[in-house]
Structure 1
């Protein structure tokens, strides 16, 4: 019995066709009925996670939303803000300068709106509707005059790969960087990742992280797998994610989460 079950979304909770299998839904519901908390841990914003939970029929009881890679952690039922970590204004400006210099695009969520620097940016047209949000074109995020949880740099995979070292060199020590997909580079405040989101929740609720289990498949899931008592990589996970996990289960298309929880 686990006190907390933290799950990544794409490639983990959802199958390749973006659906949740009945077996996995039942396994998670049974665990929650027995007292476990379900944490949706994702790069998606809070609004997008609520939209997803509603679409999947997960219900809000015993549900926690760890959004923007752990920068915003919220109790879904009570709307209590457990964690709220934001990027410094100067860092936002530096990231936007880099994005412009390299000819890339960036997005940031704010409330129910996804702000993008360019309408023609890679996957920009899909991000907002996928999260049940609106799209606005905002070339400079500093103009929003609001604290931001993350910046998402987006580009065709080969192009983004060419510039990863540049971002890492420029932002090292000033922000956390992780790939959530071959075309998405997630930039969050220093020390903020899915692992910190899990630890922040455990500290707020006086839970031992050793009683948590976490499931993931991608690079930005690794911190969460490492801090949970049991870190589980999906069968479809990247090789270095599998290597960093405590165990490997079946793929997201083969009910990998349920394979573990049903034991």
Structure 2
């Protein structure tokens, strides 16, 4: 197959567990772009958090951000597609949070609303819990991507309501597993068919407009680029990558992906800490033969 688009998740796929890009990954991506292949990132991250790394790897088509709800040119700022949550549904979900002890973030097109007093302090505490495993570059990348950017501190989850004055791209909840599961049941009972949910991080839940996923974003992008889904290679590592892995002509799971994701993939590559993405490019864009798949660290999963 003559693949024309490589769609890559960021966390757990493109970057290592230290939040760094290896030289091998950068070189491999540059090589396929020189061959005329389209490159995009398909991420659950907030657009502002993902745009810096998108520019660093030099994507050459619009980026899929917010799990497919926002497709935007990172160089010109042109908004290609935008499908937010209905504003009244978003407000009702926040009201239903009530006294649930869950952390809330509301992603808008250009900023975040945080249901707490100090978003950056919360991010700093999360960073400090894992600082020993990050090198200097990883520290910089983490703070740039997750600590910077425009944020409104609402003081409390209910305080968020007065700042939701436009349809949000998505709501992000996090907390203890048992509390998350209890609130998931609330969503299913009261908002069935009104929202979609997914997850990219353990004990987190993203709430989006119905039907929105990375696969949805890829479908929009294929029409924009005038290519078919069979010409896409999609690579990811987590549950919010499932739909796009199944949608693409070739869906690849990282070696660090959960078993449920690997089971849906056409191929399984190495981990993000062992240049799994480079091996995907070597096999499917640089013509390594099928007999060399295992030596390249890739397994057929069908």
Q: Is the structural similarity TM-score above 0.5?
A: yes
Q: Which residue of 1 aligns with 2:221?
A: 201
Q: Which residue of 1 aligns with 2:101?
A: 103
Q: How many residues align?
A: 260
Q: Name the structure where strand makes up a greater proportion of residues.
A: 1
Over 3 Å counting, the alpha-carbon distance change for 1:35 and 1:77 in structure 2 is farther
Kindly report which structure 2 residues correspond to 1:84-233, keeping only aligned pairs within 5 A, or say none.
Answer: 84-119=82-117, 124-125=122-123, 130-131=145-146, 132-138=148-154, 139-141=159-161, 143-157=163-177, 159-233=179-253
Q: Does the 8 Å CA contact 1:14/1:20 hold for their aligned counterparts?
A: yes
- TM-score normalized by the length of structure 2: 0.79
Q: Which residue of 2 aligns with 1:77?
A: 75
Q: How large is the RMSD of aligned CA atoms in angstroms?
A: 2.3
Over 3 Å counting, the alpha-carbon distance change for 1:142 and 1:214 in structure 2 is farther
Q: Which residue of 2 aligns with 1:255?
A: 275
> Structure 1, residues 77-104: CA drift from partner, whole Å, max 9, x if none?
3333221101112211121023223221
Q: Which moved more, 1:19-28 or 1:128-137?
A: 128-137
- TM-score normalized by the length of structure 1: 0.90
Over 3 Å counting, the alpha-carbon distance change for 1:130 and 1:124 in structure 2 is farther
Q: Does the 8 Å CA contact 1:92/1:142 hold for their aligned counterparts?
A: no
Distance 1:191 1:250 in 2: 30
Matched, 1:34 2:35: yes
Distance 1:255 1:158 in 2: 35
Report how far residue 171 of structure 1 moved: 2.7
Report how far residue 29 of structure 1 moved: 1.1
Matched, 1:58 2:57: yes
Over 3 Å counting, the alpha-carbon distance change for 1:168 and 1:24 in structure 2 is farther
Distance 1:129 1:168 in 2: 35
- Note the residue ranges of structure 1 that are not aligned, 5 or more in a row: none
Distance 1:181 1:107 in 2: 14
Q: Does the 8 Å CA contact 1:70/1:197 hold for their aligned counterparts?
A: yes
Over 3 Å counting, the alpha-carbon distance change for 1:230 and 1:142 in structure 2 is farther
Over 3 Å counting, the alpha-carbon distance change for 1:99 and 1:86 in structure 2 is same
Q: Which moved more, 1:143-152 or 1:245-254?
A: 143-152
Q: Does the 8 Å CA contact 2:54/2:63 hold for their aligned counterparts?
A: no
Q: Among residues 61, 65, 68, which one is paired with 2:66 in the alignment? A: 68
Report how far residue 63 of structure 1 moved: 3.7
Report how far residue 169 of structure 1 moved: 3.3
Q: Does the 8 Å CA contact 2:84/2:167 hold for their aligned counterparts?
A: yes
Distance 1:114 1:103 in 2: 19
Distance 1:124 1:215 in 2: 30
Distance 1:128 1:22 in 2: 21
Q: Does the 8 Å CA contact 1:42/1:68 hold for their aligned counterparts?
A: yes
